[in-house]
Amino acid sequence: MDYETLSNCFVAVFTHYKTDERKVFVIHDLQNDFDELIVFLHENRDNKERHISYNGLAFDAQITEYILRYAFPWSGLPGDTVAREIYRKAQDTINRSKNREWLEFYEGNMQIPQIDVFKLNHWDNPAKRSGLKWIQFSMDWYNLKDMPIHHNAAITTQDEIDMIITYCINDVESTKQILYLSKDQISLRKNLTNEYKINLYSASEPKISKELFLHFLSKATGEPKKSIKRKQTKRGYINAKDIILPYTRFNHPVLQKLLEDFKSSVIDATQTKGSLKFSINLHGVKTDFGLGGVHGARRSGVYKANKGMTIMTSDVKSYYPNLAIKNKWAPAHIDKKAFCELYGWFYDERVKIPKSDIRNYVYKIILNSTYGLSNDKYSFLYDPQFTMQITINGQLSLMMLYEMIMDAIPGAMPLMQNTDGLETMIPEEYIEKYISVCDEWEKLTNLELDHDEYQKLILADVNNYIAINKFKEVTKEECESILKKTPHALTKEEDGKYFWAPTKCKGRFEFDGLALHKNKSNLVVSKALYHFFVHDQSPESYLASNRNIFDYCIGKKIKGTWAFKKRYINSEREFAEEDLQPTIRYYISNKGAKVFKCHNTDGREIQVESGRSLITIFNQTEEKEWASYDINEQYYLQSIYKEIENIAGSRVQQLKLF
């Protein structure tokens, strides 16, 4: 469902989540469906039907509840009068949100239960924040359409009303598609809601973690939830030397100095972001330390385990949760014994349960989110010292493993360290020694490592890489199943045996199952790079095989005082300019237009695509013969080869030997 609230016009569109049944209500002087809307909302309430929306809890559901509670006297009034009253409430709701004030109605008091796919997917989180238009771009929605009429405009014609209805239907249908893509997540929340009697239908993963941890903690301690919720540990400053684990030792002077730098750090607990920033250079790797963890990588390149060599990759199992569990850390205001036993129970239970079991995923959410919630000033787990204990010791302990490997393995070459693991190229003859060193580290830290081997690491930087595992023998049926799920998987057949090499793509190399809040622009470039580095397929050959127009599309969005303007030569060979909506989808074409970001007050202009590149706006999709799209393949080839050369330097031709 979705509402459009304009100064003198209200439009409501509802579509059944399983069928094509649609209800449209208009409140305006030209058409007044107020009485019909009231009947419909009462039916929803009485039948316990849910409203499914995008950001509905903060807007649409507020309007619904307001109408249900206060709108009875409006029956018989002119449509203009009713629409203006709804508009007033809508603007009040928007202003409350902007000012971070409490909204009038909270979910537990709403007469019609809700599913908010915006909240559920945690797109209200600053790191993932996404409007519906951006998600439409991300899921290749056919019509990327912003509201064509400003909300304060006076609607005077039926054509304008029809335009608003069409826009609203498009938003509702795209919300329905998001619902479909989120069906497993909704099924999970339905099961959790039924099992624990906590409404989690619109809950993000951190909220699920918070609510379930609270549920179990209350059960374990006998303390009421309300009492636990009121508790926090607020601190002024944290002395890092007081929380560093006593076993932390280094031999190398660079790492010894790093440890001293950590110990001398005094952290402002009220503003932990950016409070830790150190960098070192060791064994040819620049490594950075901060609140988010340790990040280091060798210079960009293609690192191949040639004959006699292997790339070991080792990750700590549930690193941050287990640092707390094994060292018996807990937020200071929570019973340590109860917290640690409960946290440990979640981990132990998850280990026992296969990944196919939904409980495995639930326990994973709880384990991973608890660390983050300890640094959330709105959470009952809030204690920034608990957060700092984990992140500081996590970085230092991983660097201890790094030093132990480098000291023990002749010819070892560190490639990457990233939060909970590291990659090192070593001679194959030292694999047993490598495992022995890791065992020693496990005994020292009481943590566990998972190991695997890569045959190749295509490294742009610590956050952007492709890792190719060594081939593993699989059955013919397993190989066929893998290729059915991922046709681009790396497989081979030798002497009647079948082998598969799993691959991992990170950062700008990702293209499979990309989260909807992420930017999928130029996806064809990521795919071409994968096929080049993994399958040795030339970019030219790959582009010739990819005829998915959406893979060539780019998304851009602006807000505030900026606007998009399209400038081009029209059919009459005259210069023309056209205003564009705040979210656009386009591709690079041989013919087309230039698009600029224009500042509405100071006159600044920035080309959306620099140089001579021309753009075809593709907000409204159109299926046609490939040549008719007029794709500028040279633009995409240049982007692909630029990335290849950034990684491989001038050795592009040599890569074909791999």
- Single residue among 138, 166, 196 that ends a domain in this structure: 196
Average pLDDT for 283-301? 93
- Is there a domain that residue 521 lies in? no
Q: Kindly list the strands in the beta sheet with 22-27, ordered across the sheet, starting from the edge strand earlier in the chain.
A: 2-6, 9-15, 22-27
pLDDT for 650 beyond 90: no
Edge-to-edge strand order for the sheet containing 594-599?
575-580, 562-569, 594-599, 605-607
Shared domain for 175 and 288, answered yes or no, is no
What would the two tokens of residue 173 be? 């249908």
Cβ-based burial of 432 (10 A; exposed 0-12, middle 13-18, buried ≥19): exposed
Residues facing 422 on adjacent strands: 314, 417
pTM of structure: 0.92
So what's the pLDDT on residue 560? Answer: 87
485 domain residue, yes or no: no
Asked if the structure places residue 512 within a domain, the reply is no
The C-alpha atoms of residue 144 and residue 619 are separated, in whole angstroms, by: 5
Provide mean pLDDT across the span 410-434: 97
Contact 119, 57 (CB under 8 A): yes
Of the residues 434, 469, 504, the one at which a domain ends = 469
Tens-digit pLDDT profile for residues 304-333: 999 999 999 999 999 999 999 999 999 999
Label residue 292 by pLDDT band (50, 70, 90): confident
Can you tell me whether residue 349 is helix, strand or coil?
helix
Q: Which element (helix H / strand E) includes 537?
A: none
| Rounded CA separation 59/7 (Å) | 16
Does 213 reside within a domain? Answer: no
Q: Model confidence over 368-415: pLDDT tens digits?
A: 999 999 999 999 999 999 999 999 999 999 999 999 999 999 999 999
pLDDT for 274 beyond 80: no
Distance CA 430, CA 266 (A): 41
Record the tokens describing residue 489, joined without a space: 């998987």
In a domain, 269, yes or no: yes
Q: Is residue 220 part of a domain?
A: no
Give the number of other CB atoms < 10 A from CB of residue 513: 6
Joined together, the tokens standing for residue 253 give 């002077």
Helix (H) or strand (E) holding 641: helix 633-648
Residues 55 and 171 in one domain: yes
**Claim to verify: residue 159 and residue 273 sit in the same structural domain:** no
Confidence of residue 357 (pLDDT cuts 50, 70, 90): confident
Judge if 452 and 580 occupy the same domain. Answer: no
What pLDDT, on a 0 to 100 scale, did the predictor assign at position 570?
Answer: 85
Neighbour-count burial of 124, counting CB atoms closer than 10 A to its CB (0-12 exposed, 13-18 middle, 19+ buried): middle
Q: Exposed e or buried b for every residue in 466-502, given b needs 16+ CB within 10 A? A: bbbbebeebeeeebeebeeeeeebbbeeeeeebebbb
Residues 548 and 454 in one domain: no
Q: Are 558 and 582 in contact (CB under 8 A)?
A: yes
Instruction: Report how far residue 176's alpha carbon sits from residue 170's, in angstroms, rounded to the nearest whole number.
Output: 10
Distance CA 414, CA 402 (A): 8
Indicate whether 129 and 270 sit together in one domain.
Answer: no
Q: Indicate the average pLDDT of the chain.
A: 95
Taking alpha carbons only, the member of 56, 52, 3, 47 closest to residue 25 is 3
Contact in structure between 633 and 543 (CB atoms under 8 Å): yes
Do 550 and 620 have their domain in common?
yes
Is a pLDDT exceeding 60 seen at residue 657?
Answer: no
Kindly state whether residues 290 and 418 are assigned to the same domain. yes
Residues paired with 560 in a beta bridge = none
Average pLDDT (356-374) is 91
Q: Has residue 433 been placed in a domain?
A: yes
Nearest to 74 by CA among 110, 109, 33: 33
Which two structure tokens, joined as six digits, stand for 212? 């379930």
* Enclosing H/E stretch for 433: helix 431-445
> Residue 594 in 3-state DSSP?
strand
Beta strands in 515-649 (DSSP E): 554-557, 562-569, 575-580, 583-589, 594-599, 605-607, 614-617
Confidence band (pLDDT; 50, 70, 90) for 359? confident
Total domain count, the chain? 3
φ/ψ region of 411 (left if φ > 0, alpha if ψ in -120 to 50, else beta) reads: left
Q: Could you give the CA distance from residue 374 to residue 345 in angstroms, rounded to a whole number?
A: 19
- Which of the listed residues 196, 223, 247 is the one where a domain comes to its end? 196
Residues 248 and 336 in one domain: yes
Q: Say whether both 258 and 173 belong to one domain.
A: no
Measured CA to CA, the distance from residue 126 to residue 174 in angstroms comes to 22
Instruction: Report residue 244's pLDDT band, with 50, 70 and 90 as the boundaries.
Output: very high
Q: 119-171: per-residue pLDDT in tens?
A: 999 999 999 999 999 999 999 999 999 998 999 999 999 999 999 999 999 99
Are 333 and 451 in contact, with CB atoms under 8 Å apart? no
What tens digit of pLDDT does each residue of 515-574 get?
999 999 999 999 999 999 999 999 999 999 999 999 999 999 998 899 999 999 888 888
- Average pLDDT of span 579-589: 96
Examine residue 558 and state whether it is found in any structural domain, yes or no. Answer: yes
Return d(Cα 24, Cα 37) in angstroms, integer: 9
At 653 the pLDDT is 43
SS3 556: strand
Residue range(s) defining the domain that contains residue 31? 2-196
Structure tokens that stand for 411 in this block: 């010819």
pLDDT digits (tens, 9 = 90+) for 172-212: 999 999 999 999 999 999 999 999 999 999 999 999 999 99
**Alpha-carbon distances of 101 from 55, 56, 60, 119, 203, rounded to whole Å:** 16, 17, 17, 17, 20
Looking at the structure, tell me whether residues 284 and 191 fall in a common domain: no
Q: What is the pLDDT of residue 656?
A: 42
3-state SS, one letter per residue, for 617-629: ECCECCCCCHHHH
Q: Contact 409/426 with Cβ under 8 angstroms? A: yes
Q: Where are the beta strands (DSSP E) in 171-242?
A: 237-239
Q: In 3D, which of 30, 26, 35, 28 has the Cα closest to residue 76?
A: 35
User: For residue 271, what pLDDT is reported?
Assistant: 85
User: What is the Cα–Cα distance from 428 to 453, expressed in whole angstroms?
Assistant: 10
DSSP 96-136: HHHTTPPPS--GGG-SS-EEEHHHHTTTTSTTT---HHHHH
Please name the residues in contact with 150: beta carbons below 8 A apart, sequence gap of 6 or more.
none
Spacing of C-alpha 112 from chain mean position = 29
In a shared domain, residues 460 and 552: no
DSSP conformational letter for 300: S
Q: What share of the chain is helix, strand, coil (3-state, %, to 5)?
A: 45, 25, 35
What single DSSP character describes residue 574? -
Q: Helix, strand, or coil here: 361?
A: helix
pLDDT surpasses 70 at 652: no
> End-to-end CA distance of the chain, in Å?
53
